[in-house]
Amino acid sequence: MNTFPYSLDNKRYHTLNYFYKTKFGKKVFKVSLNAGFSCPNYANHEGCIYCSHQSGDFAGKKEDDLLTQFQKVKEMMEQKWPDSYYIGYFQAGSNTYAPLEKLKEAYEPILKIPNVVGLSIATRSDCFSSDIYDYLEELNQKTFLTIELGLQSMHEETLKYIHRGHTLQNFEDCVKELKKRNINVVVHIINGLPYETKEMMIETVKYLNNLGIDGIKIHMLHILKDTPLAKIYEKEHFHVLTKEEYIDIVCNQLGYLNPKIVIHRITGDPTKEDLIEPEWLLKKFCVLNDIDKEMKKKNRYQGDSL
């Protein structure tokens, strides 16, 4: 018997698989795309300190047009999940950082593909204008639209340290504008950012819980080769969370999230060739299993601390 209402496989948090299957009636998978959009943060300077400038490493190849990318990724995913619905996932870069016509040229053809039930658009809170908000509101009437916003931390000192390039207020205004238009909002955060404490990471989740977001992606900080962060780490050797510390923090964070908030991701999966630290992150399924074990051992559930 499943004891948590928003899971099909005895997870103690609201799984994306449960959300999609309940909403659409069958398996849904995201097809990751690279539309070649840039990012205002590294268009102007070197960008966030952790960024490899390859945001969306698992997206399609930008040398291919979007329809070719979609077909290639779909065929690969269908080997595992035949007879599914699809969501076009604009993953690489900041996917509202372009003139409106260019956005339409990217999004609209994907919506015409059979069995596409939605779009998920990854971007930043400083990449919007009133006409883009209006267009997204229209799009939301036609399909299931999700906007994924990177925040990483609610703490202004951290945002400055990581060269995030926007303020917390800018992010908050963006979320409110999207929610005013009834658009689904998913927020990315990173645990283990330099010099943040466990309490600071939990505060970020408490803050987001009060903003009325629909979903969250929880990442562990990757220190990747050839990034500003790699140089900082070499010089400062700031503390990198152990797997046990990360699991403890995530279990506590889940406790402060409303059970209706969908957990889209709970760990990261960097490539071995690019990763400096932490090496334990390469064993993604071990991390996922250990989170489940810890929650069961301590009888924790999403929302149990509210």
Pairing mode, strands 215-220 and 144-152: unpaired
Confirm if 36 and 29 have CB atoms less than 8 A apart.
no
CB-based contacts of 293, cutoff 8 Å, min separation 6: none
* Assigned domain for 49 exists: yes
Residues 6+ apart with CB under 8 A from 188: 148, 149, 150, 151, 152, 216, 217, 219
Quote the Cα angle for 259-58-266, to 5°: 25
On the question of pLDDT at 58 being above 80, the answer is no
The CATH number of the domain where 21 resides is what?
A: 3.20.20.70
Is residue 116 included in any domain, yes or no?
yes
User: 1 falls in which pLDDT band (50, 70, 90)?
Assistant: very low
Write out the residue range of the structural domain in which residue 40 sits.
16-219
Strand order in the sheet with 215-220: 28-33, 85-90, 116-123, 144-152, 184-191, 215-220, 262-265
Is 297 within the bounds of a domain?
no
Residue 12: name the closest of 302, 256, 217, 258 by CA: 302
Establish if 247 belongs to a structural domain. no
Query: Is 224 within 8 Å of 273 (Cβ atoms)?
Result: no
**What is the C-alpha separation between 175 and 183, in angstroms, rounded?**
9
- Give per-residue pLDDT as tens, 174-186: 999 999 999 999 9
| Tokens describing residue 41 | 């943060």
How sure is the predictor about 131, in pLDDT bands with cuts at 50, 70 and 90? very high
pLDDT, tens only, 99-115? 999 999 999 999 999 99
Residue 259, domain member (yes or no) = no
How confident is the model at residue 59, as a pLDDT?
A: 61
What Rg, from alpha-carbon coordinates, does the chain have?
Answer: 19
Q: Dihedral angle at the C-alpha atoms of 56, 57, 60, 65, nearest 10 degrees?
A: 70
In a domain, 252, yes or no: no
Q: What is the DSSP letter of 281?
A: G
User: Does residue 233 fall inside a structural domain?
Assistant: no
pLDDT at 56 over 70: no
- The tens digit of pLDDT for each residue in 209-247 reads 999 999 999 999 999 999 999 999 999 999 999 999 999
The model's pLDDT over 138-170, given as tens digits with 9 standing for 90+, comes to 999 999 999 999 999 999 999 999 989 899 999
Domain for residue 9, yes or no? Answer: no
pLDDT grade for 6, boundaries at 50, 70 and 90: very high
The pLDDT > 90 percentage for the chain reads: 81
- Collapsed DSSP state (helix, strand, coil) of residue 223: strand
Tally of domains within the chain: 1
